[in-house]
Amino acid sequence: MTDASQVLTRVFPSDDGPLAYLDVGQDTGSGAPLVLLHGGFTDHRMWRDLVPGLVAAGHRVIAPDARGHGASANASKPFRLTDDLAALLRHLDTGPAILIGMSMGGGTAVDTALEHPDLVRALVVSGVGTSEPEHTDPWTKDSVARYYGTLMSGDIEGWLEVVGEAVAGPYRKVDEVGPDIVRRVREMSRATAEKHTVGETDWHVPVTNTWARAATITAPTLALNGALDAPDLIAMAERLAATVAADSHTVSIEATAHYANMERPDTFTEHLLNWLNRLP
């Protein structure tokens, strides 16, 4: 069985610096390639506990570090995350693939279904709808305000406290979550934050009008959420599943919040593989 923590990442020489990615299981079987897309300020390592099971089930697993995250280069000119992903998949001659994205990564997955539909066979989103979130829940709005407020002020320690609260979600305290999960998320977040400086140019170009365009998505879609995540984040994922012009399904994983894939990786993998096995 593949141990993702022992597999070295590879590098794709994009037109604006190297982008790092994990690529394992190419020779394991005939299962569709799976692309794991991490959340904001983390990196591909957030998926490490899922990789062995997915590879054992016969899938090739590709897990990139988004530009400006993990071991990937920062941007020096305008870019879109979806275009970076499309360039990597075309470089690997991989597609259509099943895109599995958590939070920011889920938004990138949806953007790719809109902008590069030839590369997408199916979509799985967790804790997100499209790349244009609509926060309505008071807990989420307060959390987002403190998250970006502390980050933009350079208060990294204060920001990491908010990161821990985001891992716990609105219904638990941080010390009610497995300490290893909180530690790992904070370590990845700190490493990415330290790649950047306060006040630097934000070169990211968003994809627009995503909610109106979501009805054109023909890729089967699974919304796989933590039951203890913020209500509006769950609602956006379920709204996406109800909007796409394709078969869709929604699943909640009990006793988990925004990082359901890290808190209960075996359960996340089980639901994912069950759904994949039903795809035409």
HSE of 53, CA atoms in CB hemisphere, 13 A = 16
* Residue 227 burial class via C-beta count within 10 angstroms: exposed 0-12, middle 13-18, buried 19 and up: middle
Q: Which two tokens stand for residue 115?
A: 């902008």
Residue 26 lies inside a defined structural domain of this protein:
yes
Q: What is the mean pLDDT of residues 167-188?
A: 98
Task: Assign 229 a pLDDT band (cuts: 50, 70, 90).
Answer: very high
pLDDT on residue 1 = 42
Among 28-37, 116-125, 209-218, the range scoring the smallest mean pLDDT is 28-37
Whether the model clears a pTM of 0.85, i.e. scores above it, the answer is yes
With respect to residue 156, please indicate whether it lies within any of the assigned structural domains. Answer: no
Residue 150 resides in a domain: no
- CATH classification of the domain holding 18: 3.40.50.1820
Token pair 């692309």: residue: 35
pLDDT category of residue 141 using cuts at 50, 70 and 90: very high
Would 190 be classed as within a structural domain?
A: no
Tokens coding 121: 């066979």
* Residues 28/59, Cβ–Cβ less than 8 Å: yes
For residues 280 and 194, give the distance between their C-alpha atoms in angstroms, rounded to a whole number.
44
Place of tokens 């109800």: 242
pLDDT grade for 32, boundaries at 50, 70 and 90: confident
Residue 28 clears pLDDT 90, i.e. is over it: no
Report DSSP state, residue 120. Answer: E
pLDDT confidence bin for 2, thresholds 50/70/90 = very low
Task: Choose among 22, 17, 105, 8: nearest CA to 62.
Answer: 22
Per-residue confidence band for 188, with pLDDT thresholds at 50, 70 and 90: very high
Asked whether residue 153 is assigned to any structural domain, the reply reads no
Phi/psi zone of residue 68: left (φ > 0), alpha (ψ -120 to 50 degrees), beta? left
Bridge partner residues of 223 (DSSP): 125, 250
What are the DSSP calls for 15-48, one per residue? BTEEEEEEEE-TTS-SPPPEEEEPPTT--GGGGT
Confidence at 29, pLDDT banded by 50, 70, 90: low
Q: Which helix (H) or strand (E) holds 150?
A: helix 138-152
Mean pLDDT, residues 238-260? 97
**How deeply is 5 buried, as exposed, middle or buried, from its count of CB atoms within 10 A (0-12, 13-18, 19+)?**
exposed
Q: Show the domain range for 55.
A: 4-134+202-278
pLDDT reading at 243 higher than 90: yes
- Mean pLDDT on 239-253: 97
Length of the chain: 280
pLDDT of 164 higher than 60: yes
Nearest by Cα to 192 from 17, 73, 61, 21: 73
* Residue 86 within a domain: yes
Q: What is the pLDDT of residues 69-111, one digit of tens each?
A: 999 999 999 999 999 999 999 999 997 999 999 999 999 999 9
Flag whether 262 is in a domain: yes
CB 135 within 8 A of CB 166: no
- Is 232 within a domain? yes
* Tally of domains in the chain: 1
